[in-house]
Amino acid sequence: MEGTTLNNQIAIVTGASSGIGQGIAFALGKAGAKVVVNYHSNAEGAQETVEKLKSFGTDAIAVKGDVSKEQDVITLFQKAIAMFDAVDIVVPNAGIQIDYKLHEMALEDWQKVIDINLTGQFLCAREAVKLFLKQGVRDHISKAAGKLIHISSVHDVIPWSGHVNYAASKGGIDMLMKSICQGYAVDKIRCNAISPGAIATKINENARDTEEERKEMLKLIPYGRIGQPKDIGEVAAWLASDHSDYINGETIYVDGGMTTYPGFKGNG
């Protein structure tokens, strides 16, 4: 969505040095938002995101921080305010996979995924809601006091053996998001989620780097193509805008039909 729907709005996107986070940062920037680009270790990628956003005519800064660390998230919000004075859109996106079968999974690998994918989203949501409550509705900026867009996964509903840490973290995001909406919609805060399917990013590279694997992946996608970060970005930009003002507590599946369980086609 290109244009001015997010003009004068400020967004924080976590994990925006590559992949889906970068795609979201670009789409928000194209719609007019200024973007705080959080990254964990890929400083070069974050800088690339910032430069490209500036080339669109908007402003951006990169802020390093580990979303699973309370102080890092607090500092991220402080830096955003120091730079841009307000925050209107928060997109907790940073996520990882560490894949093992349950009976071979170390506690450490369970914990790390939960810490980043779920606790990280809690920490960002908490700081966002504190700030949105303090700011209230900023007149002429948006109808809402703030927009939280949690980036989840189709694996918040599709069970994923071999990835129980990841699936559990994404299932958790669903109830985190809905509970926030239930509690704070009255304060004009909108809290929604996007659940991407198979998007071509680093996280699933090794599940689609041979022709055979690509074909297997495509069997899971009725629409017949693997998604791109832009597919998620454009939905995020719309969900952040007043065009979707009455959507609250909702998850939008952006998955080319993956959650229709195509394995059941013609069955029975």
Torsion of CA 253, 205, 237, 222, to 10 degrees: -30
Nearest CB to ligand BGC, comparing residues 201 and 244: 201
Binding pattern to ligand BGC, positions 170-199, x when CB under 6 A? ---------------------------xx-
User: Which one of 39, 100, 166, 261 is the catalytic residue?
Assistant: 166
The side-by-side arrangement of strands in the sheet containing 146-151 is 60-64, 34-39, 10-13, 89-91, 146-151, 189-196, 251-254
Task: State both tokens at 195.
Answer: 């659940």
230 — phi, psi (to 5°)? -60, -35
CB of 207 to ligand BGC, least distance (A): 6
Question: Which residue of 8, 47, 97, 260 would you call a contact of ligand BGC, by CB under 6 A?
Answer: 97
Quick one: DSSP state of residue 138?
-
Q: Using the rule CB under 6 A, is 23 a contact of ligand BGC?
A: no
Name the DSSP letter for residue 227.
B
Structure tokens at 127: 């700081």
Residues in 236-265 at the binding interface with ligand BGC, rule: CB under 6 A: none
Q: How many C-beta atoms surround the C-beta of residue 121 within 10 A? A: 29
Regarding 155 and contact with ligand BGC (CB under 6 A), the answer is yes
Residue 97 CB, nearest approach to ligand BGC (Å): 6
Q: Among residues 10, 124, 154, 164, which is the contact residue for ligand BGC, using CB under 6 A? A: 154
Query: Residues 149, 192: contact at Cβ < 8 Å?
Result: yes
Residue at 126: amino acid letter? R
Q: Which residue is nearest to ligand BGC (CB)?
A: 153
Per CB under 6 A, does 83 bind ligand BGC? no
Task: Write down how long the chain is.
Answer: 268
Interaction between residue 153 and ligand BGC (CB under 6 A): yes
Q: Is 223 a catalytic residue?
A: no
Q: Which residues inside 195-214 make contact with ligand BGC, applying CB under 6 A? A: 197-198, 203-204, 207
In which residue are the tokens 């994918």 written? 117
CB nearer to ligand BGC: pick between 53 and 254: 254
Nearest approach, Cβ of residue 231 and ligand BGC (Å) = 13
Phi, psi of 91 (to 5 degrees): -120, 90
In whole angstroms, give the CA distance from residue 136 to residue 131: 8
Active site residues: 166
The footprint of ligand BGC (CB under 6 A) covers 97, 153-155, 197-198, 203-204, 207
